[in-house]
Chain A
Amino acid sequence: MATEASSETEVKENTEESSAQPDQSEKATQETQEVLNTEGEDKEKGKVKEKEGKEGKGISRYLPTWLKKQKSLSQTSPTKETPPTEEPTSKETEGEEVSAPEVNGHAEEAEEKEEVKSEPVKEKEEESNSNGSADTEPAKEEKVEESVQTTPEEKKETTKEDQVAEEKKEQEQETQAEADVQEGDGQISIFQSPLRLVRKPKMKVVVCRVTLLDGTNFSCEVEKRAKGQYLFFKVCEHLNLLEKDYFGLTYKDTHDEKCWLDPMKEIKRQIRSNNWQFSFNVKFYPPDPSLLTEDITRYLLCLQLRDDVASGRLPCSFVTHALLGSYTLQAEFGDYEPDQPRPLDFISQQTFAPNQNKEMEEKILELHKSHKGMTPAQADIQFLENAKKLSMYGVDLHRAKDSEGVDIMLGVCANGLLVYKDRLRINRFAWPKILKISYKRNNFYIKIRPGETEQFESTVGFKLQNHRSAKRLWKVCVENHSFFRLNTPEPPTKARFLTLGSKFRYSGRTQAQTRLASSLIDRPAPSFERTSSKRISRSLDGAPVISITEAGRDTTENGHDPHLELQSDSKSQLRVHGDNIYVRHSNLMLEDHDKTQEEVLKHQASISQLKRSFMEAPPPSPPQPSQWEKRLTSSPASTIRVQQQQVSLEEEIASVLLSRHAGAPCSTPELTLEAAVTTCSAATSQPLEPLLLSTPPTFSSTEVCVPQTEATPADSAVSDTKEPEKLPVVKTEMVTISDTFAAQKTEIATKEVPIVHTETKTITYEAAQLDGSADGEPGVLMTAQTITSESLCTTTTTHITKTLKGGLSETRIEKRIVITGDCDIDHDQALAQAIKEAKEQHPDMSVTRVVVHKETELAEEED
């Protein structure tokens, strides 16, 4: 029961938040200040209730009636904030304390719920009041401006209301859920120095704490409504990690279960408890770590595995414990030195195994001696070569019962689904054998492809502890299957207004894509510090390479070959590799059917129609090679590029053109880029918002009016790169608004009106060419290569061409980035990120052109 309640709210999203947003931030400002002042002295106050009541009355007249209604139940004293109490009941509410005060949305939601639920809420509300007063929330709010003191109580009050509304919502879920005991570690009262907060007065910011793999903490501020990926990118940036697709962030849900933070969803909506505490972890364990491009990625994988091993999650024998431990020692301390006591200290401090003893430590030291001469990176490689062979490497275990009620474990891994009873593997379903994964309530089902001799497919069901865990397992399966088996992720269901099954799909890159993408990494191996020993890892330049892998990996280190062409050659080899492994794509349908059969059938027709109409539009990527060919040969270096637009509901298509000219190194590429991005965001953000079409016009087709991008001829004047601020940025803009009636005039019984208003807009920014190559001299095309990769919400099509012109070789990389997502995606951010990534991958190149094509869905948010 409880679980259903929670899923219900998950689906629900607040549509009105955005409108309420601006004033709230101010309120928060007030509140924060108050709390900061009073927190200390009010530590002991447990009962604030009476006071709440009194103070509340005075303000109530300012409030709209619907708010008052709520208020009577839920006031908290503006000045008497109590710190969170240790009593068990506070556990539940702790979570909500910090929730962003979205007045309308949440209050309404709570009311709605009251109606729907037969459960009496009164008691709970009262409970929540008292607990709610134990509010640390404002502490996390930023921006304290002492001078701004306008009707503080009122604002405060409103905020309180929001909180309470949220609390109620949360609490309903909570009380319905099994009374899991949750650790009372919810509050992380982080007091931000007020000094830091003055910057963006409009944004509500929270501090996220991320535990990194080396055990250190990374704190960063994120906007309250930021999505998971924002934080994830922040962390990756901090770690200097490019091959990020193997990693993810986890949080503990209200039941203390570890969950993956969905990059596409708002953080706030996922964590529920207002515990902005995360861990950075390996999400997909690469089956062959030697194929990773960068040492830093391997190092992070090692850190994760060290922990997996030490905690017992990755079981291994005594000998293997010792062997892995010895590589850790070598990586952290280098060669064994008899007279140097450090490793000895280190060894007993460090946990290598769950049941570590003297004998093991001695064995570790003994083995350590034999690794003489190994660099840290080599030791890491050896560590991984051994760890990857362990049978439980990368297996994510989930507790379940089989159809007879016997306790089993389900292990999700790169190859499929494993079934364990105790330590024994009793069954295994490889991904190609699985036709469909689904869950219903607390059941998890897999549909099995019929064997050679069988005629019918069979379905195997498992019982999970509850609905949540069934869903979590299902999600992990969807993600692992997509990552390891598919070439490109399946697109999430586009028809969002028809709620059939979960919309959840893996949103990141697949392994095939990430291998391609990382093969493009073109930076010198970054140096990083090994935290436990403070040992600095440098790039392996000149270091003896010991060959370890049976695969005979091409050991050409990235970042060492200055020519991108070379890179692309080795790349294509890699790509073939990837394809070979992953072409055998099973037609796996991933859906969770929480619907009755009738419902399914009822919607079937309309869905397929919708799908068809959406699909009629050409796929967003990759661009046809022939077109490229044509374009390139006709005007290889010209600044005029016609951006061929695709029809789809993608919101933004940006194509970033990077180019590098041999012999003309760009000295300040950073600045050039910066300029382009800034202009870009300024231009795109404003004109869009006021457009709102209120009357839904009816259209009978799904065609979206798509403009041809107006490309501007760039200044052919040669501008010196040493004066980046003078780089002319040419901007063109074109806005088209079109409406689309996506669904046919069917008698679908949906209350939602499936109207899609689309606004399309194209802006081109062009840096002046660094050379005078606009002369139209055609040059000789040497190589051309197109690579498509996909990440969280972007599809990147990279086209690399190398042309030879007048003795100069020119490499041009054009990236087409399609950013898809909900309306509240931060486009500028995403674009900036995309450009930044491009820059990171090609530090020696400069961005010469950015074309932004924005297509916004203006439909009313219906969920």
Chain B
Amino acid sequence: MAGLMAGFGHYTHAIVRGIPASLATEALRTSQAEVDLDKARGEHDAYVQVLRTRLGLEVVELPADEALPDCVFVEDAAVVCGDTALITRPGAESRRGETEAMKEALKDLKMNIVEITDENATLDGGDVLFTGREFFVGLSKRTNQRGAEILADAFKDYAVSTVPVLEGLHLKSFCSMGGPGLIVIGSSDHAQKALKIMQQMSDHRYDKLTVPDDLAANCIYMNLPNKGHVLLHCTTEEFPESVKVFEKLKDHMLIPVSNLEKVKLDGALTCCSVLINKKKPDN
């Protein structure tokens, strides 16, 4: 009997999506870097491989859609917590179509689907940080107040606090959860400021793990049977100093995952999957 807020980091399923060829040229980006499509695809395959083979999750792989160059970043299309999945309304208009396939996939997984019908609301999953006890929603270029309100309505059990995102694309561009009650945070000013706000808004106490690089602060935490604490984080190649910090986590199974190409498109590790905990039917 899973009570309220039990089992943070427990996942059974992951939804991912393929990389369309249009990614290299048409996907949205804040920098002007060139993206090597093949490298990006290789990276993504490795990522999916870790989820499926190494961690044993049931991976649902949605086919890429050439019309949706950013579709690989599935995180922005849905927020899943418990049995409820909120289908978002992405802030970037070119990405709105991404939610369709996601919705179908989540329906197939028998999730309770909540959709945003309000035309004034925008919400990117990348702005939503779920700590296991509450939500923080970054108010960014992609997410507005109304979107956050709808999220709060969808997950009534939890407090939903808003955090202004002053720099960077999403809230999770500089932070993520590194374990129950552990926030991994970048060391830039705006990241630290955001953390302060989160701490002030919360009734709970969080530990923090500060990494030198903001982008490295985006990692994936899971708590899996027979594996315990698992952390997917950046590689030494990308952020050597930050990796040293992660390596201090003695209780975690640390899995470095390369993200060199996708990061050029502001894609972080969490962006490329939607993680779901589906309880066994008879329990």
A315 within 8 A of B: yes
Instruction: Give Cα A202–Cα B139 distance, bound, in whole angstroms.
Output: 68
- Is the Cβ of B83 less than 8 Å from the Cβ of A424? no
Given contacts A317-B84, A425-B162, A428-B202, contact A389 B5 (CB under 8 A): yes
Return the contact of B200 from the options A319, A320, A323, A428 (Cβ within 8 A).
A428
Neighbouring B residues of A323 by C-beta, 8 Å: 3-4
Expressed in whole angstroms, the minimum distance between the Cβ of B139 and any Cβ of chain A is: 10
- Is the Cβ of B4 less than 8 Å from the Cβ of A391? no
Given contacts A317-B155, A389-B157, A390-B157, contact A424 B201 (CB under 8 A): no
Given contacts A424-B162, A425-B162, contact A317 B157 (CB under 8 A): yes
- Is the Cβ of A319 less than 8 Å from the Cβ of B83? yes
B148 within 8 A of A: yes
- Is the Cβ of A391 less than 8 Å from the Cβ of B82? no
- Is the Cβ of A386 less than 8 Å from the Cβ of B3? yes
Neighbouring B residues of A598 by C-beta, 8 Å: none
A37 within 8 A of B: no
B149 within 8 A of A: yes
Instruction: Give Cα A590–Cα B83 distance, bound, in whole angstroms.
Output: 45
Among A323, A370, A371, A425, the one with the most B-chain Cβ atoms within 10 Å of its Cβ is A425
Neighbouring A residues of B83 by C-beta, 8 Å: 318-319
In the complex, the chain B residue whose C-beta lies closest to that of A395 is: B159
A422 within 8 A of B: yes
- Is the Cβ of A317 less than 8 Å from the Cβ of B161? no
Total interface residues on A, CB under 8 Å, equals: 26
- Is the Cβ of B157 less than 8 Å from the Cβ of A316? yes
B158 within 8 A of A: yes
Mark each residue of chain A from 405 to 443: 1 if its CB lies under 8 Å from any CB of chain B, else 0.
000000000010000011111111010000000000000
Mark each residue of chain A from 294 to 336: 1 if its CB lies under 8 Å from any CB of chain B, else 0.
0000000000000000000001111110010000000000000
Neighbouring B residues of A318 by C-beta, 8 Å: 83-84, 112
Instruction: Give Cα A320–Cα B201 distance, bound, in whole angstroms.
Output: 24
- Is the Cβ of B157 less than 8 Å from the Cβ of A424? no
Residues 176-222 of B contacting A (Cβ, < 8 Å): 200-203
- Is the Cβ of A423 less than 8 Å from the Cβ of B149? yes
Total interface residues on B, CB under 8 Å, equals: 28
A710 within 8 A of B: no
Neighbouring A residues of B158 by C-beta, 8 Å: 391
Return the contact of B201 from the options A367, A390, A427 (Cβ within 8 A).
A427
A828 within 8 A of B: no
Given contacts A415-B203, A424-B145, A424-B149, contact A370 B1 (CB under 8 A): yes
- Is the Cβ of B156 less than 8 Å from the Cβ of A316? yes
A385 within 8 A of B: yes
Return the contact of A391 from the options B3, B134, B145, B148 (Cβ within 8 A).
B134
Residues 144-158 of B contacting A (Cβ, < 8 Å): 145, 148-149, 152-153, 155-158
Return the contact of A385 from the options B3, B137, B202 (Cβ within 8 A).
B3
Residues 368-389 of A contacting B (Cβ, < 8 Å): 370-371, 382, 385-386, 389
Instruction: Give Cα A389–Cα B149 distance, bound, in whole angstroms.
Output: 20
B106 within 8 A of A: no
Neighbouring B residues of A320 by C-beta, 8 Å: 4, 156-157
B160 within 8 A of A: yes
Neighbouring A residues of B201 by C-beta, 8 Å: 425, 427-428
Neighbouring A residues of B82 by C-beta, 8 Å: 317, 319
Return the contact of B160 from the options A367, A382, A385, A425 (Cβ within 8 A).
A425
Instruction: Give Cα A415–Cα B202 distance, bound, in whole angstroms.
Output: 10
Instruction: Give Cα A426–Cα B149 distance, bound, in whole angstroms.
Output: 11
Among B145, B157, B159, the one with the most A-chain Cβ atoms within 10 Å of its Cβ is B157
Mark each residue of chain B from 70 to 112: 1 if its CB lies under 8 Å from any CB of chain A, else 0.
0000000000001110000000000000000000000000001
In the complex, the chain B residue whose C-beta lies closest to that of A428 is: B201
Neighbouring B residues of A428 by C-beta, 8 Å: 161, 200-203
Instruction: Give Cα A813–Cα B148 distance, bound, in whole angstroms.
Output: 57
- Is the Cβ of B152 less than 8 Å from the Cβ of A424? yes
- Is the Cβ of A386 less than 8 Å from the Cβ of B203? no
- Is the Cβ of B160 less than 8 Å from the Cβ of A423? yes
Instruction: Give Cα A862–Cα B4 distance, bound, in whole angstroms.
Output: 56
Return the contact of A424 from the options B84, B133, B148, B203 (Cβ within 8 A).
B148
Neighbouring A residues of B133 by C-beta, 8 Å: 389
Neighbouring A residues of B156 by C-beta, 8 Å: 315-317, 320, 423
Instruction: Give Cα A382–Cα B149 distance, bound, in whole angstroms.
Output: 30
Expressed in whole angstroms, the minimum distance between the Cβ of B252 and any Cβ of chain A is: 22
Instruction: Give Cα A320–Cα B157 distance, bound, in whole angstroms.
Output: 8
Instruction: Give Cα A655–Cα B148 distance, bound, in whole angstroms.
Output: 58
In the complex, the chain A residue whose C-beta lies closest to that of B201 is: A428
- Is the Cβ of B4 less than 8 Å from the Cβ of A425? no
Expressed in whole angstroms, the minimum distance between the Cβ of B3 and any Cβ of chain A is: 5
Neighbouring B residues of A426 by C-beta, 8 Å: 161-162
- Is the Cβ of A425 less than 8 Å from the Cβ of B161? yes
Expressed in whole angstroms, the minimum distance between the Cβ of A652 and any Cβ of chain B is: 41
Neighbouring B residues of A425 by C-beta, 8 Å: 159-162, 201
Expressed in whole angstroms, the minimum distance between the Cβ of A311 and any Cβ of chain B is: 14
Expressed in whole angstroms, the minimum distance between the Cβ of A358 and any Cβ of chain B is: 15
Instruction: Give Cα A391–Cα B145 distance, bound, in whole angstroms.
Output: 19
Mark each residue of chain B from 105 to 134: 1 if its CB lies under 8 Å from any CB of chain A, else 0.
000000010000000000000000000011
In the complex, the chain A residue whose C-beta lies closest to that of B152 is: A423
Neighbouring A residues of B160 by C-beta, 8 Å: 391, 423-425
Expressed in whole angstroms, the minimum distance between the Cβ of B133 and any Cβ of chain A is: 8
Among A320, A382, A391, the one with the most B-chain Cβ atoms within 10 Å of its Cβ is A391
Expressed in whole angstroms, the minimum distance between the Cβ of A150 and any Cβ of chain B is: 65
Expressed in whole angstroms, the minimum distance between the Cβ of A807 and any Cβ of chain B is: 51
Expressed in whole angstroms, the minimum distance between the Cβ of A452 and any Cβ of chain B is: 10
- Is the Cβ of B1 less than 8 Å from the Cβ of A422? no
Among A323, A424, A426, the one with the most B-chain Cβ atoms within 10 Å of its Cβ is A424
- Is the Cβ of B152 less than 8 Å from the Cβ of A422? yes
Instruction: Give Cα A749–Cα B78 distance, bound, in whole angstroms.
Output: 69
Instruction: Give Cα A339–Cα B9 distance, bound, in whole angstroms.
Output: 39
Instruction: Give Cα A382–Cα B4 distance, bound, in whole angstroms.
Output: 10
Expressed in whole angstroms, the minimum distance between the Cβ of B276 and any Cβ of chain A is: 15
Instruction: Give Cα A389–Cα B156 distance, bound, in whole angstroms.
Output: 11
Instruction: Give Cα A112–Cα B112 distance, bound, in whole angstroms.
Output: 65
- Is the Cβ of A424 less than 8 Å from the Cβ of B161? yes
In the complex, the chain B residue whose C-beta lies closest to that of A416 is: B203
In the complex, the chain B residue whose C-beta lies closest to that of A423 is: B152
Expressed in whole angstroms, the minimum distance between the Cβ of A597 and any Cβ of chain B is: 31
- Is the Cβ of B1 less than 8 Å from the Cβ of A391? no
Neighbouring A residues of B5 by C-beta, 8 Å: 389
Instruction: Give Cα A425–Cα B203 distance, bound, in whole angstroms.
Output: 11
Instruction: Give Cα A425–Cα B148 distance, bound, in whole angstroms.
Output: 10
Instruction: Give Cα A28–Cα B241 distance, bound, in whole angstroms.
Output: 86
In the complex, the chain B residue whose C-beta lies closest to that of A287 is: B203
Expressed in whole angstroms, the minimum distance between the Cβ of A748 and any Cβ of chain B is: 44
Neighbouring B residues of A316 by C-beta, 8 Å: 156-157
- Is the Cβ of A391 less than 8 Å from the Cβ of B157? yes
Mark each residue of chain A from 546 to 583: 1 if its CB lies under 8 Å from any CB of chain B, else 0.
00000000000000000000000000000000000000
Expressed in whole angstroms, the minimum distance between the Cβ of A183 and any Cβ of chain B is: 30
In the complex, the chain A residue whose C-beta lies closest to that of B149 is: A422
Expressed in whole angstroms, the minimum distance between the Cβ of B214 and any Cβ of chain A is: 21
Neighbouring B residues of A317 by C-beta, 8 Å: 82, 84, 155-157
Expressed in whole angstroms, the minimum distance between the Cβ of A353 and any Cβ of chain B is: 11
Q: Could you list 27 examples of A-B contacts with CB < 8 Å?
A: A315-B157, A317-B84, A319-B84, A320-B4, A320-B157, A323-B3, A367-B1, A382-B3, A386-B3, A389-B5, A390-B157, A391-B134, A391-B158, A391-B159, A415-B203, A423-B153, A423-B160, A424-B145, A424-B152, A424-B161, A424-B162, A425-B159, A425-B161, A425-B162, A426-B162, A428-B161, A428-B203
Residues of A within 8 A of B (CB): 315-320, 323, 367, 370-371, 382, 385-386, 389-391, 415, 421-428, 430
Taking A389-B5, A423-B156, A424-B137 as given, write out 11 further A-B residue pairs in contact, using a Cβ cutoff of 8 Å, ordered by the A residue number.
Answer: A317-B84, A317-B155, A318-B112, A323-B3, A389-B4, A389-B157, A391-B158, A423-B160, A424-B149, A424-B162, A426-B161
Q: Closest 5 A-B residue pairs measured CB to CB?
A: A423-B152, A391-B159, A315-B156, A425-B161, A386-B4
